[in-house]
Each structure stands twice: as C-alpha cells, then as structure tokens.
Amino acid sequence: MAAASINFPRSPSTIRVRMIDTTARMTVRAESFVEPVQPGHEILNLSAVAFLLEHEPSGRKVMFDLGVRKDYWNYAAILQKRIGTVIPSLRVDKGVPEILEDKGIDLGSISSVIWSHYHWDHVGNMALFPTATEIVVGPGFKIAPQLLPGFPQKVDSPLLVSDFEGRELREIDFTKSNLQMGGFKAYDFFGDGSFYLLDTPGHCIGHMCGLARTTSANDGGTFLLLGGDICHFVGDIRPNVTYPLPDTIPADVLDHDPPYFPLPCPCSLFTDHHPQLSDDASSHERQRTPFYKVSTHSASAYVDPRAAQHSVDKLLDFEQSSNVMVCLAHDEALLKHLPALNENPGLDLNDWQSRGWKDKTRWDWLNELPRNGKPGRKSIVEGFWRDGKPWDRSKEQMQQKGEKAVEEAKQDKTQ
Ligand SMILES: [Zn+2]
C-alpha cells in the first residue's frame, strides 16, 4: 500500500517549536496499549515530552501538553487508585511550569495551554498558571459527564476544580471549518496557517494532535505533528512502505550497553518475530508492515479501539510524508536525539528536516523489543519516586488505611 499524499494548505507563516522533557518516566502494561504483546515486552517504557510554541506575529506563546504534575499524589482521588495498578512505576523530577520559569519563561506569557487530551500525564498542574492562561480542549470535553467541574466537587473526576477556577476553558469546534488534512478535521489555531489542531479520535474524548508548520517553502513547507497519545508506541506506524526496516540495522541506533546485538545486526533479528504476520509472510512484507496495532484488550487504554486504529492508519500517511515528522508524546527517541529546552533553551526543532532528525529517531524503538528470547531495554524507572527519592507508596497507603480504620472504629464507638 503506497502512502497517500496529503494536501497541505500553503502558507508563508511558521511557528517556533521547542521541546520540553517533562521529566516524567513511567512504565505501563503493554496489553493496554499495543497488540499483540510479545513475550519479553510486557511492560512499556514511557517518557513524556511537551512543546512550547511561539507565534511571532502575535507574540503569543502556547503550550501543547504539560506532562505529569511533579506532586502527582495531589491528583484527583480516582487517579490515586489507578497509579500503582495500571501504572507500576512513576518518577517526575520537575514539573513543566518549573522548567519554564527556570529558563526565564514567565508563566504569564503563556496565553494558552492546549491539552492533547485530559489524561493525567498530559494536563500537568494548571493551578500554577495565572488565570489569564486559557485551557484548550477537544470536542466533547465540556459535555463529557465524568469531567467537569473536577474533583472534589465531582468525586469521580480525574481532573481538579483547581485546574479550571477563574480560567477560560475553550473547546475546539471542528465542525465550524471545512478544513481537512490527511482525513482529519483541522482547525487553524492562529488563522494564518502556522499551526493547526487535528481531530484525532479514539484514545479518549476530545483527543487532538497539533500540526506545526516549521518551515515554509514553495513546496508547502515542513511540519511537526505533535501526536499526543494518538498512539503510545511508534511500532504502531513503523516500519512502513516508505521507510522499510533496512536489511542491516544502523549500528548507531542500537543500545550497546549491555552488548545484546550482533554487529552488523541483520533486521531479521526483529522481522523473524514480526508480531502481526504469519510464518509465510515474505521478508519484503516483514520489513514494510508496522509491528503493532492499538490494543483491543478489555483493559485497553483506548476508549474506542476501532476509531483509534482508524486514526493511526491516517497517521501513517503523515509518517510517510517526507515533509512531516511525527512526534508522539511518549517516544523516548525524541529525548535521546533532539534538543530539549531543559538543557538547550535556545534550540528549537524547526530545522528538523535539514538536520536529519526524522531519520535519526526512526529506529530507536527496536531497542525496546525482545530479541533472541531475551527481553528488550530495561525499565526506565523502578517503583515510585517522590522528591527525587524512592517512595514506598503502598506502605504509606496501608498506613493511611490503617489510620482511617482506627478513626472509623473510634467513631463507631462514639455513635
Ligand atoms: Zn499519555
């Protein structure tokens, strides 16, 4: 199947894109995210990036996602139950608001925070932003029964009342524009073609991707697709027809500590165990078919796995366009190979194409896969961390439960 070419509207306007390492590191159960799960790859490693966008003509700065709040134990009660079961380990050293301020970026200069979606690992801590900073969300958010006005007023909401207090909450209405790109409904955020939001359903209510024009040229320019969680693992879109897995895996993309890989490393080390294909599939096909689909498991992280896969199928066309680089929020390769504001505040991603970053980041995910019957890359974080130290969360919860039980017993006696 050849890649469909996407008709991008032309514009001379671009937007400056800088990447932030949100410092969140977590592990999740693979069965909720990808299928089929391979033995030795039962746990996915997830880091998380966010993006600072600067629109020079208007002087506006916008954040696309915020990662995890540093004090994640202060998230809504319903999330405290999930962290520890669905999420076996988590560490956050510094919140995005803190990172911005450290680099001299005043939170008051951020006019909007766009949430790709409302999940805890993307919404950060909005209460740290002045109320003049609006929150931008995708379709269906405001009428979703489980979200507003947030915890504690709504006891089972994963969001907090403090996210919204005194603040504009803007929901994008994609039906008001006829703009479409690559099969997704699109919204021109600044009205000048520099930055679009794309309606990318499937993971959860109102999921959106960003599409930032990084350079403008006669051929329509270059774009970064800010993927959020349209999917969680790049093996959902790689390899593909346009970018097949090379016969020999480039040595510089493979981890050599510990030295798992033979050098040169034939791609058959991975393609012989292609999780989507049966034994009679040709090596040609194995090198050109994405390894995974989104999870349809009963515990899938995708509320509508069919719609999510449909969005991922369309994403594949963006991935296969040479003028687009897809940046999923949880793709660790981005942190390995691209400059982040944390260390390189002056560097943006706008010249990604001339720097060859799309090629450089393409195959890092292979390191996560099992090979020769051994598990892939080790966990990026073990257990829970608080303030830079390991934190025995279960012990603390047991203590709290114990104290609560004692308290209840006392009350029983007094009643
Ligand atoms: Zn996420």
* Residue spans per domain, the chain: 16-246+291-382, 388-415
CA of 120 to the centre of ligand 1 (A): 8
pLDDT of 1 reads 44
- The pLDDT score that the predictor gives to residue 85 is 79
DSSP 226: E
CA of 241 to the centre of ligand 1 (A): 27
Q: How far apart are CA 52 and CA 65, in angstroms?
A: 9
What does the pLDDT read at residue 407? 59
Q: How far is CA 46 from the centre of its chain?
A: 9
Is the peptide bond preceding residue 152 cis, with omega within 30 degrees of 0? Answer: yes
The 8-class DSSP code of residue 194 comes to S
Q: Are 295 and 35 in contact (CB under 8 A)?
A: yes
Neighbours of ion ligand 1 (CB under 5 A): 121, 229
pLDDT tens for 238-279 read: 999 999 999 999 988 888 866 678 888 999 999 999 999 999
What is the structure's pLDDT at 400?
61
Residue 88 CB partners (closer than 8 Å, separation 6+):
27, 28, 29, 43
Residue 242 alpha carbon to ligand 1 centre in Å: 27
Q: How far is the CA of 133 from the centre of ligand 1 (A)?
A: 22
Walk across the sheet containing 110-114 and list its strands.
169-171, 134-137, 110-114, 60-64, 43-55, 16-29, 89-92, 384-386, 389-391
Low-confidence ranges of the chain (pLDDT < 70): 1-4, 218-219, 257-259, 395-415
Q: How many residues does the chain have?
A: 415
Taking domain 16-246+291-382, whether its CATH number is 3.40.50.1820 is answered by no
pLDDT given for residue 381 in this prediction: 94
